[in-house]
Structures are given as C-alpha cells and as structure tokens.
Amino acid sequence: MTETSVTGAAAEARVGLALRVNGAERRLRIDPRATLLDALREGLGLYGVKKGCDRGECGACTVHVDGRRINACMTFAVMQQGKEITTIEGLAGAELHPVQAAFVEHDAFQCGFCTPGQIMSAVACIREGHAASAAEIREWMSGNLCRCGAYVNIVAAVTAVARAAAAGGAAAAGAAGWATGAGADGGAPEAGAAGGAAEAAATGGAAAAGAAGGATGAGGAGGGGGHGPAARTAGS
C-alpha cells in the first residue's frame, strides 16, 4: 500500500519541514499543498485547532503566528516555517490563561466546538487594543462564529479580561510614575521627597479638577447622555 500524507499525496511527493509550535520545534513530512490546519491536526495531533468551514469563514481554526491571529485553513504549512505558532494547547501554563478562565466564569460556550478559536481570537483582540467596548469586540471578533449563539457571554468574558488588563496597566504605570518622582535625584533625598510631594499635590489637584469638570459636564449635559464606554455600550 502506498503511504499517503494528510492530504492524500504519495509519500515521494512529501516535503520535510520544521514548524515551531507552542515553543518547541516539530519536524514532519507533508504534502506541500497541506494547509497549516491539516499539518497541526493530522501531522502533529493538535486537535484543539478545529476544522469547521475549511474556507476561512468560521474562525474555528484560529491560531497565532508571530503573535498575529490567522485562520489556519487559509495558509500553507510550508509558508510558516521559522515563525512562532501558538495553538490553544500552548496558550496556558500551569494555570488557565485569563481569557480561558473568563470563558468558564461567564459561561461563554455551549457545545465548545468554536471555543478554542474564540479564545485565541479574544486574546489577540485584547492585545491589539480592540476591546474598549462591546461594540468594538463584536466588530473585531466578527470572523469567529458561534452556532450555539453564545455571543452575549463571549462579549462579557472578553470585556471582563480587557477591563482587568487596563486596570492592571494603569496601576503599574501609576506606581512607576510615583517611584520616578520620589527618587528623581538619588543623591539628594530631600529633593526627591520634595519632587514626590509636588507630584502628589499636582496629581491631587488634577483629580479635583477632573472631578469638578465631570460634575459640571454631568450637570450641563442633563438629559443629553454621555460619551463614555457605558454610553457606547448602551448605544450598541
């Protein structure tokens, strides 16, 4: 019997290639026409990458290549040599990735077939900065279909992680700014302390001004509505 590859080509027609998948180099011989999806599933046994439409319409096969999300069914495996490929199997370490945990917490799946692709797309969506509102999340994840209709919970899960990431980044930036202000002059503790006090005072003044401005804007707007995330979400 003639040995065949994942796409049915004779053994002599196969090509050898090395793919770096989930942090490890994997070598295999495949039909040069094989898609990355077939190479991952049939060649490497990574069945978390789902084959849905097989023509780039459903997003079930979403993976990351050099940090960018792509549909694995729409690219040849041989084109991805030398690139860093991440599948759902390589997303988490000892604990669930925050997006995975949020999908569990918000019950953002039913049958689970599309879930790996949804999660991989959501991770990239947040990293790209396209998760500022529910409407933006829907737009930038519109290529990932859920036939069970779990979209409301998917958006809720992505929103929760995006907000947590934004809050964490703001806190880290604030701490770094305070440390810089407090220790601006390593040889002059008094000057550093004065700089920190001045920065704190300025920050307090800005906060007070911001609060006053917010109150004025709220009073002036009256029944006219706002322009923040809540308003955008309500509008969507």
Write the pLDDT tens digit of every residue in 5-22.
565 566 668 899 999 999
User: Do residues 109 and 147 touch, judged by C-beta distance below 8 A?
Assistant: no
Q: Cβ contacts of residue 53 below 8 Å, gap of 6+?
A: 60, 73
Residue-wise pLDDT tens digits, 31-79: 999 999 999 999 999 999 999 999 999 999 999 999 999 999 999 999 9
pLDDT band at 221 (very low <50, low <70, confident <90, very high): very low
Q: What is the pLDDT at residue 2?
A: 39
Residue 137's alpha-carbon distances to 2, 113, 132, 166, in angstroms, are 48, 20, 7, 15
Of residues 235 and 29, more confidence is placed in 29
Residue 234's alpha-carbon distances to 133, 149, 177, 227, 230, in angstroms, are 10, 20, 34, 11, 6
pLDDT band at 170 (very low <50, low <70, confident <90, very high): low
Domain ranges for the chain: 14-90, 92-181
- At 229, the amino acid letter reads P
Residue 75's alpha-carbon distances to 10, 98, 175, 198, in angstroms, are 21, 28, 43, 56
**CATH H superfamily, domain 14-90:** Beta-grasp domain (3.10.20.30)
Q: What is the pLDDT at residue 13?
A: 83
Q: What is the pLDDT at residue 235?
A: 38
| Fold type of domain 92-181 | DNA polymerase; domain 1 (1.10.150)
Average model confidence (pLDDT) across the chain: 80
**Nearest-10 Cα torsion for 206, 207, 211, 212:** -30
What is the percentage of the chain residues whose pLDDT exceeds 70? 67
Tell me the mean pLDDT in the region 142-155: 97
Q: What is the pLDDT at residue 64?
A: 98
Tell me the mean pLDDT in the region 144-169: 95
- At 210, the amino acid letter reads G
Residue-wise pLDDT tens digits, 178-204: 555 555 455 444 444 444 444 444 444
